[in-house]
Chain A
Amino acid sequence: MLNDEPKTQVDSTLGYTFQNDFLALSKAFSLPEIDYADISQREQLAAAIKRWPLLAELARFQ
């Protein structure tokens, strides 16, 4: 709501610079494509993921 907006003046150029940096960064970099589809159907992979809790945790993210 409007009433919740901060009353102090925000330096708009700072935000602009940050946004520009972010845009430049997202143009040059992106997260790698990781595809865990069907991973549970492969015996060796299932064993690997069962053996290491960290691998199991990360395999839940795509």
Chain B
Amino acid sequence: MAVLGLQGVRGGVGTTSITAALGWALHVLGESVLVIDACPDNLLRLSFNVDFDREEGWARAMLDNRDWREGGMRYTSSLDILPFGRLTAAEWENTHVLHDALDQLIPVWQTLQSQQRYNWVLVDLPHGVSPLTRQFLDHCDHTLVVVKPDTNCHVRLHQQPLPVGARILVNDLRIGSQMQDDLFQVWLQSQRHLLPMVIHRDEAMVECLGSKQPLGEYRGDALAAEEILTLANWCLLHCATPRTPEGQSLQGQP
């Protein structure tokens, strides 16, 4: 089981949509995937056709002293999702109550590791350095940081610490934008941890959330969907946990 965290360098760079799309792409490549929403915004579920008014999720369950697994949902036979769950207005105002529940996350990881049900666990991380983010990062084997080629992200890359060892993924690259082209060229030459593929601006990426589907399911032939598939293959090459011929993960076996 490989745990891959995805974090935006800030909000609004498309991290949640990319997490959903990557989960779908890995599933298309025959992998078993669990996608976890670690963001209190609780938006990832909407990419997997979950009803807006459904409250369940791992954090909701923990706050209510119920089993976190009750929040999980099956999207396909090899793609499961674990939404964050809905917070009340009072909980939003006092997010420290969440931090008290963080200790309960340890058994979640222990269960996932011991069961070895999934080849991949993708975690949609909130941006920033909150205790919640750090708790999840501790369990991530690899981290991708999503950036948009704009000056805001460029400045952040110069002043904002990123998770140690993180790779940088460029999303929403437009053709014919002087500013973006210049920034992208500068990044290509100066950022040592830039991933070798980029996700171009694609209307399908915008439309798929409106359609409540991950990108590749909504429109598999879209440019961005093919680029996400390339990213999924890169992940298989560079991040997958070695497996035995039977397809079982080596990790966690006696």
Is the pair B158, A55 in contact by a Cβ cutoff of 8 Å?
Answer: no
CB distance from B186 to the nearest CB of A (A): 6
Q: Is A16 an interface residue (CB 8 A)?
A: no
- Which residues of chain B are within 8 angstroms of A38 by Cβ–Cβ distance? 189
B168 partner residues in chain A, CB cutoff 8 A: 32
Question: Is the C-beta of B51 less than 8 angstroms from some C-beta in chain A?
Answer: no
Q: Are B185 and A44 in contact (CB under 8 A)?
A: yes
Question: Which B residue's beta carbon lies closest to that of A62?
Answer: B190
Q: Are B190 and A36 in contact (CB under 8 A)?
A: yes
Contact check, B162 vs A31: say whether CB atoms are below 8 A apart: yes
Give chain B interface residues in 177-198, CB to chain A under 8 Å: 178-179, 181-183, 185-186, 189-193
Expressed in whole angstroms, the Cα–Cα distance for A39 and B185 within the complex equals 10
In the complex, the answer to whether A55 meets B183 with C-beta atoms within 8 Å is yes
Residue of B nearest to A21 (CB): B131
Q: List 12 A-B contacts (CB under 8 A).
A: A24-B134, A28-B134, A28-B138, A28-B164, A30-B162, A31-B159, A32-B145, A42-B189, A52-B179, A55-B183, A58-B158, A59-B186
Q: Give A contacts to B, CB under 8 Å.
A: 24-36, 38-39, 42, 44-45, 47-49, 51-52, 54-55, 58-59, 61
Contact B134 A35 (CB under 8 A): no
**Majority DSSP secondary structure for residues of A touching B:** helix
Which of the residues B154, B182, B189, B192 comes within 8 Å of A33, measured between beta carbons? B192
Q: B163 on the interface (CB 8 Å rule)?
A: yes
A29 to B160, CA, bound (A): 9
Which chain B residue has the least Cβ–Cβ distance from A34? B190
CA distance A55 to B186 in the complex (A): 9
Cα distance, A51 to B201, chains bound together (Å)? 24
Shortest CB distance B141–A (Å):
14
Query: How far in angstroms is the closest Cβ of chain A from B117?
Result: 27
